[in-house]
Structure 1
């Protein structure tokens, strides 16, 4: 009975279109029609996947963001736009102790959560597919307010005169201002 109920619920949910807000029921974006995924909790961030091998092949798409742990003593936050770009500004961090508590098995890259489309050709843990919607990162006023940032954490600093993207590689925050 549980399987039937779950299948029916998933079938109905696949026809629903809505914004996902994680953290509360209000969120921070004023215009909800342009948001696919939003993180509304203050002084917390999202943790990027730790990759011991950089993805490649047909499932790798532009916009992929991860913590490059191919060299655990020199991990860096990277994004892909045709080539891998370093968001840590060359600052590496030792994440060996974090990797020791991460699963060491090879993940099944065909299984991931897709939001915004029924399918995707991209491989990833969380795949956002939309031609006209975006993800709103967790907003903080200052990275100092995050008590224990983890390697691969990403937030948006929403402070007057200092609005910027911040990524943490395990030892140092790197800030990107437009």
Structure 2
């Protein structure tokens, strides 16, 4: 685990040089690499796990996505649109047992990894800073292919052309199609 964390930190530090990070392989999923800051391969059945946040009052950056565990027995996946928190979950979930495995020490509020630029005014642990590039979520053929998802898991389901954002709150998957 310590080795994996060290490798991840090394890759994130190198991202300042390349301004693009592909986790899992060197190909990723985006056909046009000029519009991508961070992406994942489509060869795995994994999602991105959102941070578990027990106090979201200090989060003021639009676009922040979290697993809101401020009430551990009623956790929900949410994103901040710049004004209010928008619920992406259908129902709440009890994530109390998962909070016990989270680090108990407070984070350094000024520490962050920035991909896409050397500085950013945005608050966050991982900040994707670009005016013309985005993150490509992990793409899976079915949400059911993610075995034992953790609360806060997020992926893009590509089911033969129909693309759906899938978020897992610890009990139930919620889906957002476009």
TM range (shorter): 0.7 to 0.9
Rg larger in 1 or in 2? 1
Structure 1 regions of 5+ residues with no counterpart? 1-8
1:62-141 correspondence runs (5 A): 62-81=62-81, 82-89=83-90, 91-141=91-141
Instruction: String of CA shifts for 1:122-151, please: whole Å, max 9, x gaps.
Output: 221211000000000000000111111000
Change in CA separation of 1:96 and 1:30 when aligned onto 2, cut-off 3 Å: same
Q: Which runs of 5+ in 2 are unaligned?
A: 1-9
Given that residues 14 and 118 in structure 1 are in contact (C-alpha distance below 8 angstroms), is that contact kept between their aligned partners in structure 2?
no
State the Cα distance separating 1:162 from its structure 2 match: 3.1
Distance 1:94 1:137 in 2: 25
Indicate the residue corresponding to 1:54 in structure 2.
56
Corresponding position of 1:146: 146
Q: Could you tell me how far 1:106 is from its partner in structure 2?
A: 2.0
TM-score, length-normalised on structure 1? 0.87
Partner secondary structure for residue 16 of structure 1: helix
Q: 3-state DSSP class of the match of 1:127? A: strand
Taking only aligned residues, the RMSD between alpha carbons, in angstroms, comes to 1.9
2:25 paired residue number: 24
Kept after mapping to 2: 8 A contact 1:54/1:68: yes
Q: Please give the secondary structure, in 1, of the residue aligned with 2:114.
A: strand
Partners of 1:15 and 1:103 in 2: how far apart?
26
By how many angstroms is 1:107 displaced?
A: 1.5
With over 3 angstroms needed to count, the CA separation of the structure-2 counterparts of 1:164 and 1:66, relative to structure 1, is same
Q: CA deviation at 1:158?
A: 1.1
Question: Do the aligned residues in 1 keep the contact of 2:16 with 2:117 (CA within 8 Å)?
Answer: no
- The 1-side partners of 2:15 and 2:157 are apart by 34
Using the TM superposition, give the Cα deviation of residue 32 of structure 1 relative to its aligned residue in structure 2, in angstroms: 0.4
